[in-house]
Amino acid sequence: MKKTIVLVTGGSRGIGRSICMALAERGCTVLFTYLSNEAKAQELLEEINLLGKGGGYAYRCDMSRLPDVIDLSKRIRKDVSYLDAIVNNAGIVGDGKPFLFATDEHWWDVIHTNVGSVTNTCRVMLPMMISRKSGRIINITSLSGQKGNAGQSAYSASKAAVVTFSRSLAKEVGRFGITVNCISPGLIDTDMTRDISNEYVANRLVWSPLKRKGGADEVANLVTYMLCDAPSYIIGQELTIDGGLGVS
């Protein structure tokens, strides 16, 4: 595989971190963004560069702010000139309060962050792909966007919105040789989900044929396949990786 340049938003922790490392192992040049934890970002960057393959770049950026993303694109053009692929992973879950107890400001902040991070990145970065008539975009969604979850109405709505946005965008940019797809994880073992109560996890896993959380590396392997090996005939799809939770 030729050296592929990939941007991963929200790449310094959890699923994003695993995606960055999996792509770096494949020899990709990995560019990733983070919001605030510079120590975690530098730690990941060192691990990527120690592999001695494609190398990496770390950028502090609030992907929900269009001016910040525009500035990011300028830095990317200066550092690597172009992008082959984008993984839109940046987002927030929210505070878990039921809809009627969530403040209006917080509810809309989740929507704005999760949808805006994806649309801003696509709006600003797509011209780099269109000019080369080639590119792959993976938007990370969630099983919550398919099924809905109590206490996650904003998060579920935002992820469902990303899916339909992705399908619409796929129809617009396919003629330029660009594919857009979504990957929808279920209950994945990350630092964020480790804070969930054991009772909640046990109740969810009752419906899983595998009776376990998924690994962030399993999601990362699917992302890597979609970017590096999957046929370009896969367009506008949402691929679910949830250990069978969604079939119940």
Compute the half-sphere exposure of residue 76: CA atoms within 13 Å on the CB side of its CA: 32
Considering only CA atoms, which of 197, 184, 171 is closest in space to residue 246?
184
Is residue 107 within 8 Å of 99, Cβ to Cβ? Answer: yes
Residue with tokens 């809905």: 148
Question: 90: closest CA among 145, 21, 162?
Answer: 162
Hey, what are 233's tokens? 């005939």
Q: Is the dihedral of CA 180, 186, 187, 193 positive or negative?
A: positive
Helix (H, G, I), strand (E, B) or coil at 188: strand
Cα(138)–Cα(148) distance, integer angstroms: 21
Which of 34, 57, 59, 155 is catalytic? The answer is 155
Q: Which residues pair with 238 in a beta bridge?
A: 182
Which of 10, 4, 13, 12 is closest to 188 using CA atoms?
13
Q: Is 200 a catalytic residue?
A: no
Count CB neighbours of 52 within 10 A: 9
Q: Which helix (H) or strand (E) segment is 38 a member of?
A: helix 38-50
Classify burial at 163, counting beta carbons within 10 Å of its beta carbon; exposed 0-12, middle 13-18, buried 19 or more.
buried
Cite the active site residues: 155
